[in-house]
Amino acid sequence: MSDFGITALLILSLFALLGSGVWIGLTLTGVAWIGMQLFSARPAGDAMAVTIWGSASSWTLTALPLFVWMGEILFRTRLSESMFRGLAPWVTWLPGRLLHTNVIGCAIFAAVSGSSAATCATIGKMSLPELGKRGYPEGITIGSLAGAGTLGLLIPPSIIMIVYGVAADVSIAKLFIAGVLPGILLAALFSGYLMAWALMNPGKVPRPDRVMSLGERLHESRHLIPVVILIAAVLGSIYTGVATATEAAAVGVVGSLLLSLVQGSLNWQTFRDSLMGATRLYCMIALILAGAAFLTLSMGYIGLPRHLAEYISGLGLSPFVLVVALALFFIVLGCFMDGISIVVLTMGVLLPTVQAAGIDLIWFGIFVVVVVEMAQITPPVGFNLFVLQGMTGKDIAYIARVTMPFFFLMCLMVLLLWFFPGIATWMPGHM
C-alpha cells in the first residue's frame, strides 16, 4: 500500500475511534497497534510494552505531576484575591484601569500554575465579579480574561513545555527560561490593546473608586509578596542552576503548601482534593503520552515521518513558508483537540522535518506553545472558552467573538518570534 493509502487508513481509524468515544490515549495506542500489525514485521505487543514502559519511566516526566499538583493547591487558596488587592492600586492610572488586573493577574498566576485552564478559572473567579460590580463592559472583561488565560501555557513553569521537552528531547530548563521574554511580550501586547480600546472608548471605562496615595499603594502591595517569593523560588532555582526542572517542581509544591498553610486554606479536605485533582489530570496526560510514544514508534517502523520529511524537503519550502504552514496546521487541529494531544500527536512526525529545515528546537518549542495557545480560544474545542462559558453562562460563540482580537495579537506574536528569534533564544543562550 502507498504512503497515502496507509496515512488515509490510519487517519480514518483515528477519527473512528475518537468518534466512538474512546479516550485519546487509548485511541493513539489503537492506531499505533493497527499500523504495527498491518504494515510492519515487528510484533506489536512486545513493542507496545517496551515503549509504554520507557515513556512512563522517564525521570524528566516527574516534573509534570508535581507542577500539576502545585497548580491544584494554589487553585484552592486565596491567592487570586490577594493578587487583585495588590495589583488594583497600581493600574488605576493606566487607560483601561482595572481591566489590566486580568492580564497581570494571569501572567503572575501562570508563573506558579503551569496550566491555561487553571489560570483562566482562578483569575476569572476573582476578577469577573469584581469588574462586573464596578461597571466594566462584559465583552472586553471576558475577552481579555480568555486571551490572558492562555499565558498559563507560555510563562514557565508550563505543563505543555514539559510535554514538548520530553517529545523533542530538549532541555526543559532551557524551554522554561525561553518562555519568560515571549510571555512578558505577549502580556504587554494584551495590555497595549486594552489601553488602545480604553482610549477609543473613554465613556465605557468606569472612574476609579478612589485615588490612593503612594504609601497606601505600597501597603496594599504586601499582598503580592507570597506569590513573588514562590515565583522567585521556582524560576530562580532553575535559572541559577541550583535545581533541575524536576527539583524546582518539588520546591514549588512545598512552597504552595506553605503558602496555603499561612493563608489558612490548608486542611485535610483541600489537601485531599488537590492531590486527587492532580492525580486525575496527570493520569489523563500520562495515558496520552504513553499512547503517543507507541504511535511515534509505529510511525517510525512504517517510515511515514521519514517519507513526509523527504516530501516536504523536496518541495523546497523556505523555513518561513514552512512555519506559516505549520501554524495553520496547528490552528486547524486546535479546533478539534486540546493542546497536549496536539503536541504529542504531531511531534514524532514533524520534528524530523523541522530539524531538516534548520529550525532551532528551543525556538520551535516556544512557537508551538504560542500556536497551541491560540487553540485554547478557538471553537469548538477551546478549553478556555469552555471554562468561561461555565463561569459566565454565555454562549460559546459570543465568548469566541469577544476573544477574537486577542487571537490576532497571538498571530502578531508568531510574526515577532520569526523576525526576532532572539526573543525566545537569547535567555537560554546565556544559561
Q: Is pLDDT above 90 for 24?
A: no
Q: Which residue has the cell 487553571?
A: 118
The answer as to whether 329 is a domain residue is yes
Answer whether residue 9 is part of any domain. no
Say what percent of the chain tops pLDDT 90: 17
- In this prediction, residue 306 carries a pLDDT of 65
User: What pLDDT does residue 366 have?
Assistant: 95
Q: What is the DSSP letter of 421?
A: T
Per residue in 53-64, pLDDT (tens digit) is: 877 777 767 777
Q: Which domain holds residue 346?
A: 25-429
| Per-residue confidence band for 305, with pLDDT thresholds at 50, 70 and 90 | low
Give the mean model confidence (pLDDT) for residues 187-207. 90
d(CA 36, CA 299): 8
Check whether 421 has a pLDDT greater than 90.
yes
Instruction: Give the least confident one: 87-96, 173-182, 196-205.
Output: 87-96
Question: Which whole number is the average pLDDT over 146-159?
Answer: 85
If phi over 0 gives left and psi between -120 and 50 gives alpha, with beta otherwise, what is residue 114? left
Number of H helices, E strands in the chain: 23, 0
Mean pLDDT of 252-280: 87
Check whether 423 has a pLDDT greater than 70: yes
Question: How many domains does one find in the chain?
Answer: 1
What pLDDT sits at residue 308? Answer: 65
Which 3 state secondary structure label does DSSP give 155? coil
Q: For residue 4, tell me if it sits in a domain.
A: no
Q: State yes or no: pLDDT of 185 exceeds 70.
A: yes
The rounded mean pLDDT for the chain is: 82
Please state, in angstroms and rounded to a whole number, the distance separating the CA atoms of residues 339 and 81: 28
φ/ψ of 250, rounded to 5, equals -65, -40
pLDDT at 409 exceeding the cut of 90: yes
Residue 115: inside a domain: yes
Would you say residue 335 has pLDDT above 90?
A: no
pLDDT at 338 over 70: no
Cβ atoms within 10 A of the Cβ of 226, count?
Answer: 22
Residue 7 lies in a domain: no
Q: Is residue 11 part of a domain?
A: no
> What pLDDT sits at residue 312?
66
The C-alpha atoms of residue 100 and residue 289 are separated, in whole angstroms, by: 36
Q: What is the mean pLDDT of residues 273-290?
A: 82
Domain assignment present for 340: yes
The whole-number pLDDT of residue 380 equals: 63
pLDDT score at 402: 92
Note the pLDDT of residue 361: 93
pTM, entire model: 0.76
Within a domain: 195: yes
Q: What is the pLDDT of residues 206-227, one digit of tens each?
A: 877 666 777 777 778 887 888 7
Which residue do the cell numbers 515487528 mark?
42
What pLDDT was estimated at residue 420? Answer: 95
